[in-house]
Structure 1
Amino acid sequence: MKHRLTIHFPSEAVHQPITYRLAVDFDVAAKILRAQISPNRSGTMVVELSGDIDELAAAEHWLEGIGLELDRAQGEIRIDRERCVDCGLCTSVCPSGALAIGLPDWRLGFDAQRCLVCEQCIPSCPFEAINLVLTTRC
């Protein structure tokens, strides 16, 4: 089973070996999708955790127990085709290649299967045509 989380680190927790502890103590793999963490400052990390459902629950409980804030909201990226002008600015920041300009028509293409929901494309769009639509995980 997989869970996607956004983990918010307070400044006193950024030096902890989170992904190592998840692997060793809980047998949970952590795939880091996006991270912005600086020494002695707060940070944010978007991760996809995979493992047994009980181990995932225990790992998330442990993360909260050490003072990390978890955002469990799930969502998907949506492109508003009425606002999009196919400028391609978002393609330059997309780490997975989910956003690409297609030839020969030079139109923006979006492959939702490749999307990591890292949200880097949202602020890059000058026309505010890219949005995160949230859904709640059960």
Structure 2
Amino acid sequence: MKRRITLHFPREAVHQPIAYRLAVEFDIAAKILRAQIAPNQSGTMVVELSGDIDDLAAAEHWLESQGLGINRASGQIRVDAERCVDCGICTSVCPSGALSSSAPSWQLQFDAQRCLVCEQCIPTCPFEAIALVLEPSP
């Protein structure tokens, strides 16, 4: 099973080897999708965890016990084609290249598989054509 979460690191926790401990102690593969963590400062990391559902639950509990904040709000970015005018502004802030446009049409292309759901594109769109659509909780 895979689960995408956002971890919020307080200053005290930025030096912990989180990905290593998840692999060794919980048999969880942690694919880091985006990270902004500086030494001696707080930080954020978007990570995709893969493993057995029970191991994932135990790993998330351990992360919280280490003082990390976890955002489990699962959702995905959606682009409203009727509102989008293909201006391309959102492509300049997309860190993964999920939003792109190219000649000759310059029409916006969205690759959901590459999307990190970092939400940087949402406030950038002047036409409010991009939104986070939350998935219902299980």
The within-5 A match list for 1:85-124 is 85-124=85-124
2:17 is matched with which residue? 17
Contact 1:73 1:136 in 2 (8 A): no
The within-5 A match list for 1:1-138 is 1-138=1-138
- Cα shift readout 1:42-61 (whole Å, capped 9, x = no counterpart): 11111000011111111101
Q: Secondary structure at the match of 1:121?
A: coil
Q: CA deviation at 1:127?
A: 3.6
Give structure 1 regions of 4+ aligned residues with deviation exceeding 4 angstroms: none
Give the structure-2-normalised TM-score.
Answer: 0.87
Aligned residues: 138
Q: What percentage of residue pairs aligned between the two structures are identical?
A: 76
- Work out the CA distance in 1 between the residues paired with 2:11 and 2:96: 29
Q: Secondary structure at the match of 2:101?
A: strand
Q: CA deviation at 1:39?
A: 1.2
Q: Secondary structure at the match of 1:85?
A: coil
Instruction: Show structure 1 runs of 5+ residues with no match.
Output: none
Q: CA deviation at 1:102?
A: 4.8
User: RMSD over aligned Cα, in angstroms?
Assistant: 1.8
- Work out the CA distance in 1 between the residues paired with 2:128 and 2:42: 27
Structure 1, 118-127 or 18-27: larger mean CA deviation: 118-127
Are residues 10 and 74 of structure 1, via their aligned partners in 2, closer, same or farther at CA, if it must alter by over 3 Å? same
Q: Secondary structure at the match of 1:44?
A: strand
Structure 1, 9-18 or 98-107: larger mean CA deviation: 98-107
- Work out the CA distance in 2 between the residues paired with 1:136 and 1:18: 28
Structure 1, 79-88 or 54-63: larger mean CA deviation: 79-88
Q: CA deviation at 1:137?
A: 3.9
Name the amino acid aligned to 1:8: H
Give the structure-1-normalised TM-score.
Answer: 0.87
Are residues 61 and 133 of structure 1, via their aligned partners in 2, closer, same or farther at CA, if it must alter by over 3 Å? same
